[in-house]
């Protein structure tokens, strides 16, 4: 198995708004597959970057849809393996969706148009690659155990019928999965609580085809 060894950027502000360069040599040549089509100023102090009403940027998704973004987490420094940020203070109830950027090993959670969580992830490699495209959460199981790999998959959110899921993992440099998305355990618990069956999950490819 080829090991994945990428250090994720510092959240959606860096990944989409290009406040920092890509973290790995291979990422430099890959064009972003989704971008916020608006002018952006430097982040202001505080836990999040908010956009003015009437001037909300949008994320273009691979399936042709667009998601309105009202605010993103203000994460100014690169996050290392095992790191995450979660802040839903003051964020109203609303639709939840998840964006996974394999190129930067970064997962972002949105609710009501606001980014509430961001985490460094593991994903599949070589023989069992993580699929890309648009998915929905098919099943939730807080205490799932994989019979195929004889391993626990806590706070599992199933995305495909053949077992690809988001679940709690020991997110370490040089590790990969068998196609699943591995997130830090405490982050997995928060995501499991926030998400429900039917919520959309978008997975962007690790590199341009």
Q: If DSSP codes are grouped into helix, strand and coil, which group holds residue 64?
A: coil
Q: If DSSP codes are grouped into helix, strand and coil, which group holds residue 191?
A: helix
- Which pLDDT score, from 0 to 100, does residue 33 have? 30
Question: How far is the C-alpha of 62 from the C-alpha of 142, rounded, in Å?
Answer: 29
Compute the half-sphere exposure of residue 183: CA atoms within 13 Å on the CB side of its CA.
Answer: 29
- Which pLDDT score, from 0 to 100, does residue 13 have? 58
Arithmetic mean of pLDDT over the chain: 80
- At 177, list the tokens: 């999965």
Q: If DSSP codes are grouped into helix, strand and coil, which group holds residue 139?
A: strand
**How far from 139 is each of 32, 66, 106, 165, 175, CA to CA, in Å?**
30, 25, 22, 9, 25
Question: How far is the C-alpha of 154 from the C-alpha of 185, rounded, in Å?
Answer: 8
Question: How far is the C-alpha of 79 from the C-alpha of 6, rounded, in Å?
Answer: 11
Q: pLDDT grade, residue 126 (50/70/90)?
A: low
Per-residue model confidence as pLDDT tens digits over 127-143: 789 999 999 999 999 99
Q: What is the DSSP string of 66-88?
A: EEE-SEEE---SPPPTT-EEE--
Q: 32 or 186: whose pLDDT is higher?
A: 186
The CATH code of the domain at 12-204 is 2.40.440.10
Residues 194 and 183 sit within 8 Å (Cβ to Cβ): no
Per-residue model confidence as pLDDT tens digits over 49-98: 999 988 999 998 888 889 999 999 999 888 999 999 999 999 999 999 99
Spatial CA neighbour of 162 closest among 175, 145, 179: 179
Spatial CA neighbour of 135 closest among 109, 161, 114, 116: 161
Residue 1 has pLDDT above 80, yes or no: no
Residue 38, Cβ neighbours under 10 Å: how many? 12
Q: Which residues make Cβ contacts (< 8 Å) with residue 29, sequence separation at least 6? A: 207, 208
Residue 4 has pLDDT above 90, yes or no: no
What is the torsional sign of CA 103, 108, 110, 114? negative
Q: pLDDT grade, residue 42 (50/70/90)?
A: very low
The pTM is what?
Answer: 0.80
What are the sequence ranges of the domains in the chain?
A: 12-204
């Amino acid at each position: 198995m080829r090991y994945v060894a990428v250090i994720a950027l510092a959240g959606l502000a860096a990944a989409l708004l290009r406040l920092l360069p890509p973290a790995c040599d291979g990422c430099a040549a890959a064009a972003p597959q989704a971008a916020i089509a608006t002018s952006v100023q430097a982040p202001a102090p505080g836990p999040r970057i908010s956009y003015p009403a009437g001037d909300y940027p949008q994320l273009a998704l691979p399936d042709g849809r667009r998601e309105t973004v009202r605010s993103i987490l203000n994460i100014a420094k690169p996050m290392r393996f095992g790191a995450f940020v979660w802040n839903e203070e003051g964020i109203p109830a609303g639709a939840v969706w998840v964006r996974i950027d394999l190129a930067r090993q970064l997962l972002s959670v949105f609710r009501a148009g606001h980014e509430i969580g961001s985490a460094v992830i593991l994903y599949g490699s070589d023989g069992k690659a993580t699929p890309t495209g648009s998915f929905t959460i098919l099943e939730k199981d807080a205490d799932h155990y994989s019979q195929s790999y004889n391993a626990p998959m806590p706070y599992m959110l199933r995305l495909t019928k053949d077992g690809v899921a988001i679940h709690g993992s020991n997110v370490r440099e040089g590790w990969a999965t068998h196609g699943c998305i591995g997130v830090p355990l405490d982050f997995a618990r928060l995501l499991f609580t926030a998400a429900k069956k039917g919520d959309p999950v978008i997975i962007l490819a690790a590199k341009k085809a």
